[in-house]
Amino acid sequence: MDLELKSKTAVVTGASIGIGRAIAKGLAQEGVHVVAVARRKELLDGLTREVRDAGGAVTPLVQDIVAEDAAERLAAAAIAELGHVDILVNNAGGSRPLPVDAPNSAWDEAIALNFTSYRKLAHALLPQMIERRWGRIINITGKSEPEGLNAAFAAKAAVHAWTKGLSREIGEHGITVNCIPPGRIMSEQIRRNYPEDYRKKFAEEEIPVGYWGEPEDLAALAIFLASPRARYITGTVIPVDGGLRRYQF
């Protein structure tokens, strides 16, 4: 299928490793010029070389997305590089398990990373999407079945609610916004925190398809949602988890 993405432009945050890297590479392979955002320069440089060697277009941007004016600076830098931004993939984030007596600052930091940065960057880029009457916003979120207190779960739930509300406001401008909560997707952190024997046992007992996903499994959906082909899909939360989730809807 031709996804009709050639000559589109995109910003992908958290693009140096894992899911973000796979999405940035996949978009570039479809002919999208990608601004890849992350904090680790050496990893971004490696992604840039890999994409360019394959004939794709990517521009690395080393930036922390949580600073007070980060969204405005990132949006301005991306527009200066690309001319305009068609696609935003909000992917940067991280798990934040907290004890009941955690200080407010720990909650504030988690909400800033996992919700506020998404909202600010999207709203910074929306005016030029509205002006051009086309845009795609894809938010990589998280599961809705907390095993305990985790500030990231609360923040990602906020992203889901904000996404649904935003979809009602921007649909008339040709802009869609969707969420993808990952299941067990292999990453640097997963390999570090979960030994292979645990991963094998968990997959056999909990994941219906029988194995942990790879970043490319989620990237395939993100790239489709970023395309003109996905014009009638908006305000959704679509898990990519091999059937792990058990709730009915």
Q: Over the chain (249 residues), what is each successive 10-residue block's mean pLDDT?
A: 96 96 98 97 96 96 91 97 98 90 95 96 98 98 82 94 98 98 89 91 96 97 98 97 85
Q: Identify the CATH number of the domain in which residue 225 sits.
A: 3.40.50.720
Q: Residue 188: what pLDDT?
A: 82
Query: Could you give the angle at the alpha carbon of 112 between the alpha carbons of 108 and 115, nearest 5°?
Result: 120
- With DSSP H G I counted as helix, E B as strand and the rest as coil, what are the percentages for the chain, rounded to 5? 50, 15, 35
**Is 148 within a domain?**
yes
**Is 99 within a domain?**
yes
Q: Residue 200: what pLDDT?
A: 95
242 close to 213: Cβ distance less than 8 angstroms: yes
**Is 237 within a domain?**
no
Rounded CA-CA distance 150/102 in Å is 11
140 close to 19: Cβ distance less than 8 angstroms: yes
**Is 110 within a domain?**
yes
Q: Residue 67: what pLDDT?
A: 87
Domain that holds residue 55: 9-187+215-230
Please tell me whether the overall predicted TM-score, pTM, comes out greater than 0.85 for this model: yes
Q: Residue 144: what pLDDT?
A: 65
**Is 242 within a domain?**
no
**Is 160 within a domain?**
yes
Q: Residue 68: what pLDDT?
A: 87
Number of domains into which the chain is organized: 1
**H or E stretch covering 25:** helix 18-29
**Is 54 within a domain?**
yes
| CA R_g for the chain | 17
**Is 196 within a domain?**
no
Q: Where are the beta strands (DSSP E) in the chain?
A: 9-13, 33-38, 57-62, 87-90, 135-140, 175-180
Q: Residue 9: what pLDDT?
A: 98
